[in-house]
Structures are given as structure tokens and as C-alpha cells.
Amino acid sequence: MTAAVATYNIHACIGSDGRFDPNRVLRVIQELDVDVLALQEVEHHAVDGIDLLDYFAAESGLQAIPGPTLLRGTRQYGNALLSRFPPVSLNRADLSVPGREARGALDALFDCGGKKLQVVATHLGLKPRERREQVRRVLPLFEPEAADVSVLMGDLNEWFLWGRISHWLRRRFQATPYHATFPSRWPLLALDKIWVNPADRVKRFEVHRSRVARRASDHLPLKAVIEL
């Protein structure tokens, strides 16, 4: 059995052209056609009378799992998961560092036809010291034998291939390919990552480069197909 997972920073539905358009993001979600999707920079506007995340879930046929980290004006903002599988367990971890923007991680365990898939979805901070502290808190979420396959994915804001954070993550997950996802029109930096353990369960990595994806956000989605 395989499962498709992806991570996508939707930039609050503001595209590379500066235009707010949730329907473009929805089209990208539908194009991805994955089992578990990690979203970052989800701002909870009302669209067609319902919350943005609920709108995405209703139109894609996936279940919404919110993980807001802060309040922007009157709207919550942060991480989310969309999943074809209901979570067996769910933990919302606080990764906030004093003096920096509030950050968090969604730690979900899914039962996929008898196989356990753990997904930790996050959006790390902008400063190297901040990210190091956040990764120190994320890694203990992956308990030995807790799942058949474990996945860490999100906008990690880390482009240093041989920095301390990359070393820590390789030690836990082995290597992950470098796929440039930012900026969406001319991607140069691999800010969005999918780390999988065991690493040999990954059958395919791809950056989703459709025409609408290049315009819907300033990031491109990154997708992986995993053997469970």
C-alpha cells in the first residue's frame, strides 16, 4: 500500500501576483490528489460563508485538522492538515521561541489500512538559532516503534545543506533530496521539505509545477509517494 503526502505553504492565499484567491489554492490542492497534505500560512477567512480550511476540506473531500499558532486581527493563522484518513491521535506542539513569532507543529498518527503513519507538520522560524531550538523540540515527537513510517514535513525555512539542523535531521531520517520550491515562479531555494523514516520507503519525490501552482502562492508544493 502506498500513501501520497505533500506540503504546501499557501501564503494566506495571496499569489505570486499579489492577488488574494482561495480558489486557485483549492485547484492546486485538487491537482495534488494526496492522502495527507500539510498546509502553512493558513489564514482563516470566511469563503462562501464557511471557514477557509473547512471550505478546502469540503471541496477536496479531505478532513480538516487545524493548527493555528496566532491571531491576526480577528482571524486565526498557522498550520493545518488535510487528510483522507481520520487521525488515531493528535498532538498540537508549541514551538514558540520568546521574542519571535509564535510557531507550532501538528503531530498526527493515522491508521492507513492497518499501517501506522505518523505525520509531523510544521513551519519553522526565520532565524537560525530559533530553528535550532524548534528542531530540538520536534525530534522527540518521533518515538521509536510508534509508527511504521514517520514523516516530518513543512516549510522548514532551512536552505543550508550542511548546517547543524540539516545534520540533526539526516541523523534521524537519513538524507532527503534537494528540491527548490521558492519562489514559485523561479524556484531557487529548498525551503519546503519532506523527511521520511525509513528513507527507503519513498518511491517518488516531485515538485508540483502546474501553471496555477506557480501563481497561487509564493511557494510550490512538494509531494512524495511512500510505501507503507
Q: What is the CATH number of the domain that holds 188?
A: 3.60.10.10
pLDDT at 80: 98
- Which residue in this structure is represented by grid cell 540533526? 168
Residue 186 burial (CB < 10 Å; 0-12/13-18/19+)? exposed
Contact between residue 194 and residue 214 where contact means Cβ atoms under 8 Å apart: no
Write down the H helix ranges in the chain. 22-32, 52-60, 128-138, 164-173, 211-216
The percent of residues in the chain predicted with pLDDT above 90, rounded, is 84
Residue scoring higher pLDDT (162 or 41): 41
Average pLDDT, the chain: 94
Q: What is the rounded CA–CA span in Å between residue 13 and residue 25?
A: 6
Domain total for the chain? 1
Q: In this predicted structure, what is the pLDDT of residue 49?
A: 82
Give the contacts of 206 (CB within 8 A, at least 6 positions apart). Answer: 179, 222, 223, 224
pLDDT of 160 > 80? The answer is no
Mean pLDDT along residues 158-162: 76
pLDDT interval class at 166 (50, 70, 90): confident
| Domain carrying residue 73 | 2-227
* Model confidence pLDDT, tens digit, residues 16-43: 999 999 999 999 999 999 999 999 999 9
- CA dist 77 and 74 (Å) reads 10
What pLDDT is attached to residue 18?
96
- Give the model's confidence band at 74: pLDDT under 50 very low, under 70 low, under 90 confident, else very high: low
Cα atoms found within 13 Å of the Cα of residue 113, Cβ hemisphere only: 7
pLDDT of residue 73: 66
* CA dist., res. 122 & res. 194, Å (int): 11
Task: Output 163 or 222, whichever has higher pLDDT.
Answer: 222
Each residue's pLDDT tens digit, 56-69: 999 999 999 999 99
Model confidence pLDDT, tens digit, residues 78-97: 999 999 999 999 999 999 99
Global pTM?
0.96
Residue type, 138: V
